[in-house]
């Protein structure tokens, strides 16, 4: 059994999609980041970086429990564990890694910064909003070009690179439909997969913090996520 620690965020959903696609037994342990669950001693014992998601695999390497964080590492671990959704050919495998790293180093951080300054910063910063909006546009153009060349991000086969990327494009696919036709085609194909559709519902009872529009967001939440409580010495 694998326990997935997380909540209604794109990063947790990408791991949920992988677990469902790989047909691994798993359960969700909800971590409410707005309440500060990620700052408790219990959670910090799993991830000293106080971020979700985290997995605990009771049947880890050698049969011992295994704790892992960082979504790129988790996806690679699960793909290696099951022998699925990661190409066997060395060149194709490296291309899959490339697009996985593109997501974890580019799409995730840049889209996250855009959401932060557009929806959650206590003051409006026009320069930051313009800077991250333009970078989000550029990344979408890169994705659209790639998906005009190949069926999936890693090539001709669906892979963990696709699982990693879709959750961050949820708003792009709905609010910007038609602007990036190759991304639209890929997104539709992704959402037709039952595991993807189910994985995208993780934490659906609460609006996604990363996507904006969360009601009742306060300075106390800012302190937990980015302020004094986040940066307190532990």
Note the pLDDT tens digit of each residue in 168-183.
Answer: 998 888 888 889 999 9
CA distance 90 to 61: 23
pLDDT of residue 203 exceeding 90: no
Q: What is the DSSP string of 159-226?
A: -HHHHHHGGGGHHHHHHTTTTSHHHHHHHHHHHTSHHHHHHTTTTTTS--STTS--TT--HHHHHHHT
pLDDT for res 230: 87
Tell me the pTM.
0.94
- Is the per-residue pLDDT at 48 higher than 80? yes
Rounded mean pLDDT of the chain?
Answer: 93
Say yes or no to pLDDT of 205 above 70: no
pLDDT in tens, 120-136: 888 889 999 999 999 99
Name the band, by pLDDT with cuts 50, 70 and 90, for residue 9: very high
Average pLDDT over residues 130-152: 97
Percent of the chain with pLDDT over 70: 95
More confident residue, 217 or 106: 106
Higher model confidence: residue 221 or residue 212? Answer: 221
State yes or no: pLDDT of 207 exceeds 90. no
pLDDT category at 225 given cuts 50, 70, 90 is confident
Determine the Cα–Cα distance for residues 170 and 17; give it in Å rounded to an integer.
14
- Buried b / exposed e over 69-86, threshold 16 CB at 10 Å, is bbbbebbbbbbebeebbb
| Residue 215 binned pLDDT confidence (cut-offs 50, 70, 90) | low
Q: Is the pLDDT of residue 43 over 80?
A: yes
213 has a pLDDT exceeding 60: no
The pLDDT assigned to 206 comes to 57
């Amino acid at each position: 059994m694998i326990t997935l620690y997380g909540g209604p965020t794109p990063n947790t959903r990408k791991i949920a999609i992988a677990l469902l696609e790989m047909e691994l037994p798993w359960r969700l342990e909800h971590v409410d980041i707005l309440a500060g669950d990620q700052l408790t001693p219990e959670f910090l014992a799993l991830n000293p970086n106080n971020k979700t998601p985290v997995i605990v695999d009771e049947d880890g390497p050698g049969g011992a429990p295994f704790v892992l964080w960082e979504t790129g590492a988790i996806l690679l671990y699960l793909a290696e564990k099951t022998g699925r959704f990661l190409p066997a050919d060395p060149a194709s495998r490296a291309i899959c890694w490339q697009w996985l790293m593109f997501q974890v180093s580019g799409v995730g951080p840049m889209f996250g910064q855009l959401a932060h300054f557009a929806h959650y910063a206590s003051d409006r910063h026009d320069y930051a909003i313009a800077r991250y909006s333009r970078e989000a546009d550029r990344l979408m153009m890169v994705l659209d070009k790639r998906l005009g060349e190949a069926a999936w991000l890693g090539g001709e086969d669906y892979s963990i690179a696709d699982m990693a990327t879709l959750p961050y494009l949820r708003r792009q696919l709905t609010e910007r439909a038609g602007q990036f036709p190759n991304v639209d085609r890929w997104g539709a194909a992704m959402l037709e997969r039952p595991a993807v559709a189910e994985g995208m519902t993780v934490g659906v009872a609460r609006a996604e913090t990363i996507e904006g529009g969360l009601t009742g967001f306060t300075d106390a939440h800012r302190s937990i996520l980015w302020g004094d409580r986040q940066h307190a010495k532990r």
